[in-house]
Homo-oligomer: A and B are copies of this chain.
C-alpha cells in the first residue's frame, strides 16, 4: 500500500472526440483549417475499398487537400508492419496524419507519426519496458485525426499503440500521452460496414475494457508511489471518473452488443456500440486493463494456423477482442473475491439477477454471465477451439510475464501457477 498521502491521486487526461452520423464528410474542411499541405492517410486493404475511406477521400478532394495514401496496414500489426509504415511516414515528410480504420490502422498510424517525428530513435526506444526501453518522447508529434471504423479498441481516445513482437511471440506496445490523437472523429455510419464477426470481436474488446477498468486495482492502492507526479503512470487504477465511463459503457454493451452483431443494419445498436467504444476507451485509458488483456498478448502472439472467421485477411490471426474475451470467465472468477460488489454489479448490468447472490459467489456468477453471452454470440469454445492445447500453456504464461505494465493492475496478486490455472480454465468454455 501507498504511504504518501499525496499519491492518493489520479489524473484524467481526456480526449477530443467529435461524434455524429456523417461527420467525416467535414474532414477536408478540418484539414484545411489546420493548414495541412501534405496529409498521410493510413488504412488497410479491406477498408480502402469501402465507404469510410471513400468519404474521406471525397472530402479531401473537394477541399483541395494534398495527400498520400498508405493502405498496407497489417490487421493485427507486428513490429515488421509498424516499421514499414514508419518508413513510409519518414519518406513522406507529412504535416498531418489521418487514420481510417480499426485499432490496427490507428495504432500503426500513431507509431508512424511518432518515429517520423523522432527520426534518430531506434525502434525499441519507445516500446514499453521491460521489452523496450520506455524512453520519454521529447519531440512534438504532428496532429493525427483518428477515424475509427470498428466499435472496439477506443484507440482514438488513448495514447497506446499495440503490435505483435514476432520474435517474442507476444504483443506489446508503446504507451505515452503524446500518442493520443488530436481528434477522434467518430462517425457511426462507418460501423454499418463491419462484418458480423468484426462487430462481435471488437465489441468484446469494449466489454473487457469496461470490465477490466471497473475491477482494476483502485488508484489509491497501487504501488510503488511515484516520487514525482511526472512519473505517474498512464494506467492509474480504477477511480471515480473511470468508473463512470466503465459503468456507462457496460450498460450500452448489455443493451446493444447482441443486436449490433446480429443485424448490420441496426443503426441504433451499431451507433450505440460505437459510442460505447469511446466511453470504454476513455475509462481504460485512465484506469488501465489487467489480466484479460495481459494474457491476450501471448494468445495473439503464439497463433499457429487459426483463421479468423469472417475476416478478409490472408494470415493466421486471433483477433484482439477474441483473444481478450476467451479468458474473461476464468479471470473474473479469479479476481472476484477482491471486490465482489463490483463483480456482482457488472453481472447485474449485463442482465443477471443478482438479488439473492452471496458475495462469495460473485466470481462464478459473473463468469456464467459472460459464458452465456459468448455462447449466444457463437464464440469459439475456448483456447482449444482456436488451436491451443495444454502443451502451449507454458509459452502462454511466459508471454504474459513481461506484460506487468497491465497485469499489475489486477486487483488480485498472482503467481505463475495462477496464470497457468487461468489458461487451463480457458481451454473450454461451454
A138 within 8 A of B: no
Task: Find chain B residues with CB under 8 A from A26 CB.
Answer: 6, 9, 229
| Residue contact A10 to B6, C-beta cutoff 8 Å | no
Q: How far is the CA of A7 from the CA of B21 in the complex (A)?
A: 8
A244 within 8 A of B: yes
A25 within 8 A of B: yes
Give 1 or 0 for each of A1-37: 1 = CB within 8 Å of chain B CB: 0000111111111111111111101100110010000
Give 1 or 0 for each of A241-273: 1 = CB within 8 Å of chain B CB: 100110010000000000000000000000000
Task: Find chain B residues with CB under 8 A from A22 CB.
Answer: 5-6, 8-9
| Residue contact B279 to A33, C-beta cutoff 8 Å | no
Q: How far is the CA of A15 from the CA of B19 in the complex (A)?
A: 17
- The A29-78 residues at the B interface (CB cut-off 8 A) are 29-30, 33
| Residue contact B241 to A244, C-beta cutoff 8 Å | no
We find that the number of chain A residues with CB closer than 8 angstroms to chain B is 37
Nearest chain B CB to A19's CB is how many angstroms away?
Answer: 6
| Residue contact A11 to B17, C-beta cutoff 8 Å | yes
A275 within 8 A of B: yes
A132 within 8 A of B: no
| Residue contact B19 to A9, C-beta cutoff 8 Å | yes
Q: How far is the CA of A239 from the CA of B275 in the complex (A)?
A: 11
Nearest chain B CB to A186's CB is how many angstroms away?
Answer: 9
Among B16, B20, B282, contact of A6 (Cβ-Cβ < 8 Å):
B20
Task: Find chain B residues with CB under 8 A from A282 CB.
Answer: 14
Q: How far is the CA of A16 from the CA of B234 in the complex (A)?
A: 13
Which residue of B has the minimal Cβ distance to A33?
Answer: B230
| Residue contact A244 to B240, C-beta cutoff 8 Å | no
A167 within 8 A of B: no
Task: Find chain B residues with CB under 8 A from A415 CB.
Answer: none
Question: Assuming the A-B contacts A228-B33, A244-B279, A275-B240, are A6 and B25 also in contact, with contact meaning beta carbons closer than 8 angstroms in the complex?
Answer: yes
Offer 10 A-B interface pairs, CB within 8 angstroms, sorted by A.
Answer: A9-B22, A10-B19, A10-B20, A11-B17, A12-B18, A13-B16, A14-B15, A14-B16, A19-B239, A33-B230
